[in-house]
Amino acid sequence: MHHAIISCLHANLPAVEAVLNDIDKQGIDTITCLGDLVGYGPQPNEVVELIRKRGIATCQGCWDEDIIDGLNACECSYPSQLAERRGHLAHQWTDDQLTDENKCFLASLPTSLRRDRLLFVHGSPNSQHEYLLPDMDAFAALERVETAGADILFCGHTHQPYVRELRDGSIRVRLQSAEHGNDQGEELTLPMRKIVNAGSVGEPRHGSTNATYVIHNDATDEVEIKEVAYDVARTCQAIIEAGLPKVFAWRLSHGFEFAEQAEDASHVCER
């Protein structure tokens, strides 16, 4: 059976509608959403209501968490202090716009979903804010999947779709202890695991303006990364009209993160 995984919708209604239409056209009726329904984009209520109306199983993203918890989470991932300030502006705007009912819905979302050997999270099993980047340390990546007891980990948060297969792993160790003295070494064979990042529907940062999502085949474990064109100009116009920072429209129309020179290169999170 095929099922679709979407992530990082970011209040971009035209993109969400286009992706759901694309999924519907393929006759796929199982959809899982990895969170970040809101933030940056101009239609937070519309997107939340569409996901609720469609009954799409959803886990909570970092933006969804922050809207409920009031920016308690660490946001060191901003590339600069200016970017952090823009993020806070967007947070405030989204907080003002969202209805209480939709906030309650975001608060009710679980941090992970599990279907047998498949685990669905926003960032990583450790945190909605942790980035599992495609080239991160392979052992650390495997540790995230293995410790969570999954065969395949589906995540988002990076806005860059990828499929990473981790295989043929082993670690040799030698133990010396006060109890047992010098032990012979032994070798641990590591299991094969997979990380699938769904990219972003509402704010792609993979170098194209197209929305991305993935389709997973339960029987073969094959994963297809899908790109969907949508009316980017319509969302950009709505961002400007809403009074959100114009750079949010700029980066949507370019397909990558806008990162100016850090204002303070020594910026260190104190949380």
Size of site (CB under 8 A) for another protein: 42
Tell which positions 62-101 bind another protein, by CB under 8 A: none
**Contact between 270 and another protein (CB under 8 A)?**
no
> 122: buried, middle or exposed (CB in 10 Å: 19+, 13-18, 0-12)?
buried
One of 177, 220, 261, 266 touching another protein (CB under 8 A): 177
**Cβ at position 257, least distance to another protein in Å:** 16
Whichever of 208 and 237 has its CB closer to another protein, that residue is 208
Q: Are 35 and 4 in contact (CB under 8 A)?
A: no
Shortest distance in whole angstroms from residue 61 CB to another protein: 21
Give the tokens for residue 121: 């999270």
Nearer to another protein, 56 or 131 (CB): 131
What is the number of other CB atoms lying within 10 angstroms of the CB of residue 170? Answer: 8
Among residues 27, 53, 182, 241, which is the contact residue for another protein, using CB under 8 A? Answer: 182
Of 73, 113, 190, 242, the one binding another protein by CB under 8 A: 190
Query: Considering beta carbons, is residue 173 or 265 the nearer one to another protein?
Result: 173
- How does DSSP classify residue 109? -
What is the contact mask toward another protein in residues 137 to 176, using x (rule: CB under 8 A)? xxxxxxx--xx------------xxxxxxxxxxxxxxxxx
Tokens in use for 41?
A: 């984009």
CB of 153 to another protein, least distance (A): 13
209 binds another protein (CB under 8 A): no
Going from the C-alpha of 141 to that of each of 18, 37, 102, 229, 266, the distances in angstroms are 32, 25, 34, 31, 28
Considering beta carbons, is residue 135 or 264 the nearer one to another protein?
135
CA distances in angstroms from 223 to 163, 226, 241, listed in the order given:
7, 10, 38
Binding mask 226-245 for another protein (x = CB under 8 A): -x------------------
**Cβ nearer to another protein, comparing 186 with 218:** 186
Around Cβ 111, how many Cβ atoms within 10 Å? 16
**In the complex with another protein, which residue's Cβ is closer, 83 or 252?**
252
Burial class (CB in 10 A: 0-12, 13-18, 19+), 204: buried
Residue 99 DSSP code: -
Pull the structure tokens for residue 217.
């085949």
DSSP state of 254: T
User: What is the rounded end-to-end Cα distance, in angstroms, of the chain?
Assistant: 44
Residues near another protein, by CB under 8 A? 134-135, 137-143, 146-147, 160-179, 182, 185, 187-188, 190, 206, 208, 212, 223, 225, 227
